[in-house]
Amino acid sequence: MLGSTADSLFWMFRYIERVENTLCMIESGFQLYLLSSSNLNNEWDAILRTNSIRHHFLKKNNSLDSLNIINFMLKDPKNFNNILILFEKARENARRSRVSITSEVWEAINTCWLYLNEELNKKINESKIQTIIKNTREKIALIFGFLERSMLKNEILNFCYLGTFIERFDNTVRILNTRYYLLLDEKKIRFEGYDNFQLEMILRSISSYRSFMWKNQNEIKANKVSYFLISDKDMPKSLMFCVNETIKNLRSIHKKNFPKNKSYQNALSIQKKIKQKSRNFNNYSFLNSLFKLNMTLAANIEEEFNFQ
Amino acid sequence: MTYFTKTYDEAFINENSVRTNYKKFISWYKNQDNDELTKINSDAMKFFENTGVSFKVYSNDKKENLIPFDIIPRIINSKEWDKLVKGITQRVLAINFFLTDIYGQQEIIKHGVIPVDLIQNNTAFLKQMIGFTPPNKTYNHISGIDLIKTNSDNFYVLEDNVRVPSGASYMIENRDTMIKLFPELISKYKVSENRNYAKYLSEILKKSSPKTSKINPNIVLLTPGIYNSAFFEHAFLADKLGVELVEGKDLRVINKYLNMKTINGWKRVDVIYRRIDDIFLDPLSFKEDSFLGVPGLMEVYRNKNVTIANAPGTGISDDKSIYSYIPDIIKFYLGQKPILKNVKTFKCRIKDELKYVLDNLNKLVVKEVHGSGGHGMLVGPLASKTEISKFKNKIKKNPYSYIAQPTLSLSTCPIYTKKGLTPRHVDLRCFALLAQEKVTVIGGGLTRVALKKGSLVVNSSQGGGTKDTWILSS
């Protein structure tokens, strides 16, 4: 496989995953807006910071107006990470690697892109936001469905998954980073405005509230939430799950040579770090080091497989 | 139904009388529900849109356009087709002999068949190819021969495209679409297959591999990238061929061989099916600032360590001034009478012919010798006086760059509209593949249709559409 093809596959799925993650965040914010929650501003603030776009947004806007933020995140050209731009990049990479993906996967991506272009280029009113998010997420699920069902189980698929899990790890660690103070041990810290509602919002922003509650007998606690997001190997958005998937895919590409490779070693060290801290993880520097390690891991992959 | 055409129509003799080729089809058509057909017609475009079949018209925006597709097939009978196959085979072989000669001994010039200045002054003649024979002595592996019909008897050749002819993917997609839209209709006819194009293309590319390579040569398709107007086709064909789609940046010359950068390091490349023009192939040999090609590629090629298909320099055989000599070229190398006719062509480089052209611009179609895509041409009968006088000056300044042809009465075929069938002008691009002196002409081709009433310009970059082309088995 060409290095540049691996590059396109990897980035195609980083962007698709980023779109999915961003949509989840918009949805959680929008729910609060509909409930006219008093936490609304805090929530938007956290969402904008997670996406590193708070500064850009406030350049143009004086207040955290919900619909303005949603518009900004969906389609404002001033936001370089808006859904339209992200998906455009995903599709561009899909075109570049068109030969490596099945026509089912390609058509799923292309139809999603056509849909977003049609819907987001119109004026977006409040009543449509949920429909757009729901339809887009369904279309993304279709992409992953076809990826799973129509592609050969070979290194092409491995690179798609590497992009997906590196990006997902990045997203989860960013969410944790922005709100790490909520997850600190309750005995150690007390501050104003702290309540379970904010913990709930963390879970909602990655669409995992229900699965958390199901696993934890409807009891929401900071240490349990952080365990769920960091160490739970069954939770598809947890850091542990993501790094395990990364390791699995790297093994599969490297075949027998994997112990020597930097990327593989680095992925193992992330896994180890999470294991060691499994019951006592809640500090900023720990999360920040994971964030950086994941970035290095992505760079290792790009270098080792001759991306361009 | 009112169906009126001034020129030769391939389906109707007049409103009430249908030609034999179309009889079965028209009787089927008359039994269809018009609303249903209108729906199918718009489904067809939706189908193309979803599969991403697109054609980028050069402009500043990133918009991708769809080539309009018409659901009414163009039908050609086997007798007409057999003649076309023989004629195309003859031309393709003659062109290959011509290229071998013109970059070699130049016997054709020595015999006075072709004037030397036509070659010397021609930018398509590459000095880098002189005295070099490509692997397997093949230059024009892939040809796209453009034909038009003006009456019931004859197809005329309008152009021989042997540089980087495109359109094969649309030919295949059109057939796929027709089968999806009208499965019951296609099964009634014995229509010859054209979706085997990739299979034949793969065969000739394998056969063209240089001797030094392995049994299974590593073939790549070289594209300028995703912003190229024909990128869809490049990806489509690479997919069907089962080969890597590469850009210049994926390739590098290492130790006298061409290599591609894979996830496991460098891998030798044996055959390049290139979809970039000659001048971009190698910045060391041609355009210095080209990023699309590979530095040093020509040296690898000249050492016969890689095959480039089509060979660099093939353009010398398909420019519009050489075109008028093709009948002579056929006679010279094959000793045969040309099977397919050329369109009468006035060469502005010849004094008398230039005078005739300048005096009759309002009746003629003038084309640039190296032009393509319907650009840089003057359609005399449709042009204004100012346009004509402007063009006159252009020709006078550089007569070598222009040829002129009489305005041809291109045949028409019916296209579908909500109000019923209506005639539009068409041409036909046939694809021929060459390896080891054996030519394969793919059954049918790409019919291009001028969708504007009365228009003769069929190019997709100027509002032309396409149709499926059916060759009926005998």
- ipTM of model: 0.85
Interface test with B, best of A10, A92, A99, A254 (most B CBs within 10 A): A99
Residues 199-238 of B with CB under 8 A from A: 226, 231, 235, 238
pLDDT of residue B449: 94
CA gap A204, A37 in Å, rounded = 14
Query: Which tokens sit at A130?
Result: 């949920």
Report percent pLDDT > 90 for chain B.
66
- Are A136 and A194 contained in the same domain? no
- Token look-up 């997709």 returns B460
pLDDT of residue B233: 93
Lowest mean pLDDT segment, chosen from A236-240, A259-263, B166-170, B409-413: A259-263
Query: Which tokens sit at B97?
Result: 């002999």
Q: Give percent helix, percent strand, percent coil of chain A, each to the nearest 5.
A: 75, 0, 25
The answer to whether the CB atoms of B261 and A306 lie below 8 A apart is yes
The answer to whether the CB atoms of B263 and A306 lie below 8 A apart is yes
Contacts of A99 in chain B (CB under 8 A): 235, 238-239, 243-245
Average pLDDT (A268-296) is 85
Query: CB count, 10 Å around CB of B229?
Result: 18
pLDDT of residue B245: 96
pLDDT of residue B58: 47
- Smallest CA–CA separation between A206 and chain B, in Å? 30
- Please tell me what DSSP assigns to residue A132: H
CA gap A44, A74 in Å, rounded = 14
CA neighbor of B130 nearest in space, from B293, B298, B297, B294? B298
Report percent pLDDT > 70 for chain A.
94
pLDDT of residue B46: 81
Average pLDDT (B322-348) is 95
- Smallest CA–CA separation between B238 and chain A, in Å? 6
Report percent pLDDT > 70 for chain B.
96
DSSP state string for B19-86: -GGGHHHHHHHHTS-HHHHHHHHHHHHHHHHHHT--BPPSSSS---BPPPEEEEEEEE-HHHHHHHHH
The reported pTM is: 0.89
Interface test with B, best of A12, A92, A95 (most B CBs within 10 A): A95
Could you tell me if B381 and B363 are in contact, meaning their C-beta atoms sit under 8 angstroms apart? yes
**Domain edge (last residue) among A96, A127, A150:** A150
pLDDT class of A196 with cuts at 50, 70, 90: confident
pLDDT class of B50 with cuts at 50, 70, 90: confident
DSSP state string for B406-455: EPP---EEEEEETTEEEEEEEEEEEEEEEETTEEEE-SS-EEEEE-STT-
pLDDT class of A282 with cuts at 50, 70, 90: low
Could you tell me if B10 and B19 are in contact, meaning their C-beta atoms sit under 8 angstroms apart? yes
Would you say residue A124 has pLDDT above 60? yes
Please name the member of A3, A92, A111 whose beta carbon is closest to the beta carbon of B261. Answer: A3
- Are A291 and A170 contained in the same domain? yes
Query: Which tokens sit at B393?
Result: 């000056």
Q: How many residues does chain B have?
A: 474
Could you tell me if B143 and B162 are in contact, meaning their C-beta atoms sit under 8 angstroms apart? yes
Contacts of A103 in chain B (CB under 8 A): 51
Query: B193 — contact with chain A (CB < 8 Å)?
Result: no
Beta strands across the sheet bearing B307-309: B244-246, B219-222, B271-274, B307-309
| 3-state SS assignment for residue B105 | coil
CA neighbor of A16 nearest in space, from A98, A110, A122, A102? A110
Average pLDDT (B327-336) is 97
Would you say residue A81 has pLDDT above 80? yes
Query: A260 — contact with chain B (CB < 8 Å)?
Result: no
Query: A114 — contact with chain B (CB < 8 Å)?
Result: yes
pLDDT of residue B474: 65
- Smallest CA–CA separation between A153 and chain B, in Å? 17
What are the structural domains of chain B? 12-210+306-338+409-471 (no CATH), 211-305 (3.40.50.11290), 344-406 (3.30.1490.270)
- Are A162 and A308 contained in the same domain? yes
Could you tell me if B49 and B64 are in contact, meaning their C-beta atoms sit under 8 angstroms apart? no
pLDDT of residue B55: 62
CA neighbor of B320 nearest in space, from B342, B351, B339? B342
- Are A36 and A96 contained in the same domain? yes
pLDDT of residue A308: 77
CA gap A145, A163 in Å, rounded = 16
pLDDT of residue B439: 97
Query: A5 — contact with chain B (CB < 8 Å)?
Result: yes
- Are A166 and A267 contained in the same domain? yes
pLDDT class of B162 with cuts at 50, 70, 90: very high
pLDDT, one tens digit per residue, over B54-103 is 665 544 455 677 788 999 999 999 999 999 999 999 999 999 999 999 99
Residue A66 domain boundaries: 1-150
pLDDT of residue B191: 87
- Please tell me what DSSP assigns to residue B212: T
CA contacts within 13 A on the Cβ side of B186:
18
The answer to whether the CB atoms of B244 and A308 lie below 8 A apart is no
Average pLDDT (B450-459) is 82
Q: Cβ-count burial of B412 within 10 angstroms (0-12 exposed, 13-18 middle, 19+ buried)?
A: buried
Query: Which tokens sit at A11?
Result: 């980035």
pLDDT of residue A37: 82
pLDDT, one tens digit per residue, over B424-439 is 999 999 999 999 999 9
CA neighbor of A174 nearest in space, from A154, A202, A146, A145? A202
- Are A134 and A192 contained in the same domain? no
Query: B49 — contact with chain A (CB < 8 Å)?
Result: yes
DSSP state string for B359-387: HTGGGEEEEETT--TT-S-EEGGGS-HHH
pLDDT class of A190 with cuts at 50, 70, 90: very low
The answer to whether the CB atoms of A110 and B262 lie below 8 A apart is no
pLDDT, one tens digit per residue, over B364-384 is 999 888 766 666 788 888 888
- Are A35 and A183 contained in the same domain? no
pLDDT class of A280 with cuts at 50, 70, 90: low
CA gap A177, A282 in Å, rounded = 10
Average pLDDT (A135-144) is 98
- Are A249 and A106 contained in the same domain? no
| 3-state SS assignment for residue B138 | coil
CA gap B260, A279 in Å, rounded = 48
- Please tell me what DSSP assigns to residue B317: G
Average pLDDT (B168-185) is 90
**Domain edge (last residue) among A150, A169, A198:** A150
Query: B239 — contact with chain A (CB < 8 Å)?
Result: yes
| 3-state SS assignment for residue B301 | helix
Query: Which tokens sit at B132?
Result: 């070099």
Average model confidence (pLDDT) across chain A: 90
pLDDT of residue B373: 60
Please name the member of A1, A2, A92 whose beta carbon is closest to the beta carbon of B226. Answer: A92
pLDDT class of A192 with cuts at 50, 70, 90: very low
| Structural domain count of chain A | 2
Lowest mean pLDDT segment, chosen from A32-41, A292-301, B306-315: A32-41
- φ/ψ region of B313 (left if φ > 0, alpha if ψ in -120 to 50, else beta) reads left
pLDDT of residue B213: 55
Could you tell me if A49 and A43 are in contact, meaning their C-beta atoms sit under 8 angstroms apart? no
- Are A218 and A286 contained in the same domain? yes
The answer to whether the CB atoms of B235 and A305 lie below 8 A apart is no
Would you say residue A48 has pLDDT above 60? yes
pLDDT, one tens digit per residue, over A242-255 is 999 999 999 999 87
The answer to whether the CB atoms of B244 and A5 lie below 8 A apart is yes
Please name the member of B226, B231, B262 whose beta carbon is closest to the beta carbon of A2. Answer: B262
Could you tell me if B352 and B402 are in contact, meaning their C-beta atoms sit under 8 angstroms apart? no
Closest residue in chain A to residue B265, using alpha carbons only: A306
- Are A94 and A10 contained in the same domain? yes
| 3-state SS assignment for residue B110 | helix
Please name the member of A3, A99, A111 whose beta carbon is closest to the beta carbon of B235. Answer: A99
Query: CB count, 10 Å around CB of A72?
Result: 22
CA gap B190, A299 in Å, rounded = 56
Contacts of B49 in chain A (CB under 8 A): 114
pLDDT class of B209 with cuts at 50, 70, 90: very high
pLDDT of residue B409: 82
Average pLDDT (B306-335) is 94
Average model confidence (pLDDT) across chain B: 90
Please name the member of A95, A103, A110 whose beta carbon is closest to the beta carbon of B226. Answer: A95
CA gap B100, B437 in Å, rounded = 12
Query: B45 — contact with chain A (CB < 8 Å)?
Result: no
Buried b vs exposed e over A18-33: b needs ≥16 C-beta within 10 Å?
bbbbbbbbbbbbbebb
Residues 265-284 of B with CB under 8 A from A: 265
Query: B61 — contact with chain A (CB < 8 Å)?
Result: no
- Are A105 and A247 contained in the same domain? no
- Are A167 and A60 contained in the same domain? no
Please name the member of B50, B231, B238 whose beta carbon is closest to the beta carbon of A110. Answer: B50
